[in-house]
Amino acid sequence: MRMLSTKPPTAVAAMSLLACIAATCLRADTSRGLAAVNHIVVIYQENHSFDNLFGGWEGVDGIAQADPRHTQQVAQDGTTYKCLLQNDPSLTSPKPLKASCKDAARRIESAFRNAPFEIDTFVPPSAATCPGGKPGGAPGGCTRDLVHRFYQERYQLNRGHMNRYVTGSDAVGLAMGVYDTRRLPIYTYLHAQGHPHYVIADRFFQAAFGGSLLNHHWLVAAATPVFKDAVADGSGDDLHAVLVANGMPARYPLYMPKGEVKAKDSAPLTALCTENVKGLGLACGDYAVNTIQPAFQPYAPGTPEAKRLPPQVNPTIGDALSTAGVDWAWYSGGWSNANGDVGAPGWSNGGGKRCLDPATREGALAPHCPNRLFQFHHQPFNYYAAFDPGTGPGRANRRAHLKDEAELVQLVGASGDACRLRAVSFVKPIGADNEHPGYASESTGAQHALDLIRSIEASACAPDTLIILTYDEFGGQWDHVPPPGQGGARGPHDIWGPGTRIPALLISPLLPAPAAVDHTLYDTTSILATIERRFGLKPLSSRDAAVRDLSEAWSSARP
């Protein structure tokens, strides 16, 4: 089995780092800092932990620095596994991989010992396993999906021991898979001659436990959405989770709860506030923490109103920017088709009377023609009353601020000698390009993100633009660094998070060093805090008021 690479950075990267040891380099743009940034572009990818993607980057607190106590995974009873059970079709034994590790007590025979392993050794980008990780599909090196939900992640973190990712997962041993950092397109780009200045932040955590829906809301509102007047009668319309004694709502290959698990592991709402749940110190009540559809179109075709989240009324960063007169937009791949914006950039359905695009999701009715990989719960502003398409102000807000990614590409490509980017741009690629395990290829999505970055860096916008590349959440994948609030780790935290550490890169010629690592503690709401500081806005909640903003990269980052 190929071991994780420990080779030094390339000669070009080493020269970049050494060149900036000089004090003059470190002082280059520190005085200007964030104030000189006139455009902020947030590229929001999907479902990877820091160790999973960036754990081999030189200078970071990566896999080589991991405490074995945070690496070796333990069973439900607290004992340590000898081997990693695998159920991804590319990793199972005796086929396609010969077993080389045996755990007789648990009847596990596997090709993987209890340690991180490189996914791309076994599932390279050329592997025809897309989508879903099943052999015989299209090239791209897809793996299966991994559970990444609110209560499950709390269990997996194990109070900061970071050692129950495998036991608390439906994908078991795949949770310990990582990618060879030095093969990633973004790594190659940022280690080539003449690369743009960048900072890699190795203490950046997802704002909230669990999955995409919740972390998208924390990205734009620093708050958890509320399901007002949620049904709580145990019927089919009751969307609350039901937890067993230790806070888990599910049964997995290596996790067997005592007694019957009455709720699906994907219940969208927190559990009711019973004495048991309150005694565990877990969030409870009428809060939406897992995937649920919005009240407004676009939503998954056929979703009844009773199972759609009522419109949210708390403020978002969009409201704050608009009130301050700062131009902004959320650019989403596939938005024009999904929202029925006939003829807008990205629209591919003719006159709009029928859904003509063959990639349209089954059951869609024109003019709402979402792509089959368009993710409705990745569109956080569509959950808010301020964007209600049934009201005049809501329609105007949607037209002004909710756009297709194709429009951003046009703006950057047509910039010429003048930058046409808005002051703040959020970019959400469509499913095929977002790196989400299961339905998307990591390599394809990573290349798409790099293409966006290269286009911005080649445009007239580059001199005063800060690009923030990060991910919504961990995707069920292991990381070794305890989040704030877990196991005594310090930093802003509450009952919602932060959760697992995720990749984060800052790219801008305004950064003082060509290549640097920032060890400052951040979470997703640090992006909000950065926007708020740059444009003089008030915090949206106690979390974005407490976290450090990314201007720390100008003074805290070290080459």
> Is 344 domain-assigned?
yes
**Would the pLDDT of 2 be above 60?**
no
Least confident of 7-11, 354-358, 395-399, 476-480: 7-11
Q: Tens digits of per-residue pLDDT, 16-57? A: 433 332 223 333 344 468 999 999 999 999 999 999 999 999
Quick: pLDDT tens for 203-254: 999 999 999 999 999 999 999 999 999 999 988 899 999 988 788 888 899 9
The Cα-based distances of 286 to 7, 232, 260, 272 in angstroms read 50, 9, 23, 7
* 354 within a domain of the structure (yes/no): yes
pLDDT at 264: 57
> Which residue stretches of 38-111 are H helix?
50-54
Q: Taking a C-beta distance cutoff of 8 angstroms, is the pair 199, 517 a contact?
A: yes
Model confidence band, residue 143 (pLDDT cutoffs 50, 70, 90)? very high
Give the chain's domain count: 1
Minimum mean pLDDT range among 9-23, 295-309, 481-495: 9-23
504-507 and 198-201 beta bridge pairing: antiparallel
Domain presence at residue 358: yes
Residue 349 in any domain: the answer is: yes
Vertex 487 angle, CA 484 and 490, to 5°: 35
Residue 363 lies in a domain: yes
- The residue assigned the tokens 């396993």 is 129
Contact 59, 65 (CB under 8 A): no
Return the pLDDT at 279: 85
Residue 420 lies in a domain: no
254 domain-assigned? no
In a domain, 145, yes or no: no
Question: What is the overall mean pLDDT for the chain?
Answer: 92
Q: Each residue of 310-367: pLDDT tens digit?
A: 999 999 999 999 999 999 999 999 999 999 999 999 999 999 999 999 999 999 999 9
Would you list the DSSP string of 281-310?
Answer: T---SSBB-S--EESSSSS-TT--GGGEEP
Coil, helix or strand at residue 113: strand
- Phi, psi (deg, nearest 5) at residue 350: 60, -135
* Model pLDDT for residues 415-425, shown as the tens digit of each residue: 677 899 999 99
Residue 370: which of 274, 297, 270, 425 has the closest Cα?
A: 297
Centre a 10 Å sphere on the Cβ of residue 149 and count the other Cβ atoms it contains.
27
pLDDT for residue 443 is more than 90: yes
Give this prediction's pTM. 0.93
Range of the domain at 353: 334-371
